[in-house]
Amino acid sequence: MLKDATRYRYGNRDDAARCAHVDEENARRRELLAAAHPAWLRRALLEAIRDGVSPREAAERLRTSFQAIYALARIDPEWGRELDEATSAACTCEGTGWKRQEPRKRCHCPIARAYRAEESRRERAQNP
Ligand SMILES: [Zn+2]
């Protein structure tokens, strides 16, 4: 009996084969994402962010992306915690999330990020 992912490679397209293929692809993407962010790069990102560089700017300077470093945080909780610690160390909103910040002075701590996420959820709910 072949594994479902193997059956997919032989051309089977039933639900079990498709699901196994998707799982395999997702696992491969997670491995690539982790491999593209070795320890030295993660340390450099955290150092820049602690120094007050925005996560987006830090990621761009180090030739990765904002999306990639937060996607990595979703699959690697340890990295997520380190990222939260670094953005908290550089917090400029004093844990308030600052309701009306100038875009260039945005705080990137977890509280400010949660506040903005909630705010944009509310805006989307009002303007569907
Ligand atoms: Zn803050």
Phi and psi at 109, nearest 5°, equal -70, 160
Give the model confidence (pLDDT) of 7-52 as tens digits: 999 999 999 999 999 999 999 999 999 999 999 999 999 999 999 9
Angle between the 15-35 and 66-75 helix axes, to the nearest 10 degrees? 120
Q: Are residues 67 and 104 both part of a single domain?
A: yes
Q: Are residues 22 and 47 both part of a single domain?
A: no
Q: Are residues 104 and 50 both part of a single domain?
A: yes
Q: How far is the centre of ligand 1, averaged over its atoms, from the C-alpha of 2 (Å)?
A: 52
Q: Are residues 11 and 74 both part of a single domain?
A: no
Q: How far is the centre of ligand 1, averaged over its atoms, from the C-alpha of 32 (Å)?
A: 31
| Summary mean pLDDT of the chain | 92
Q: Rounded to the nearest 5 degrees, what angle is found at the Cα of 93, between the Cα atoms of 39 and 120?
A: 85
Structure tokens belonging to residue 68: 């990639």
The span from the first CA to the last CA of the chain, in angstroms, equals 49
Q: How far is the centre of ligand 1, averaged over its atoms, from the C-alpha of 46 (Å)?
A: 16
Q: How far is the centre of ligand 1, averaged over its atoms, from the C-alpha of 39 (Å)?
A: 26
* Residue 45 belongs to domain spanning: 37-126
Question: What is the tally of structural domains in the chain?
Answer: 2
Q: Are residues 48 and 60 both part of a single domain?
A: yes
pLDDT, residue 93, reads 86
Q: Are residues 121 and 65 both part of a single domain?
A: yes
What residues have CB less than 8 Å from 79, skipping those under 6 apart?
A: 37, 42, 72, 73
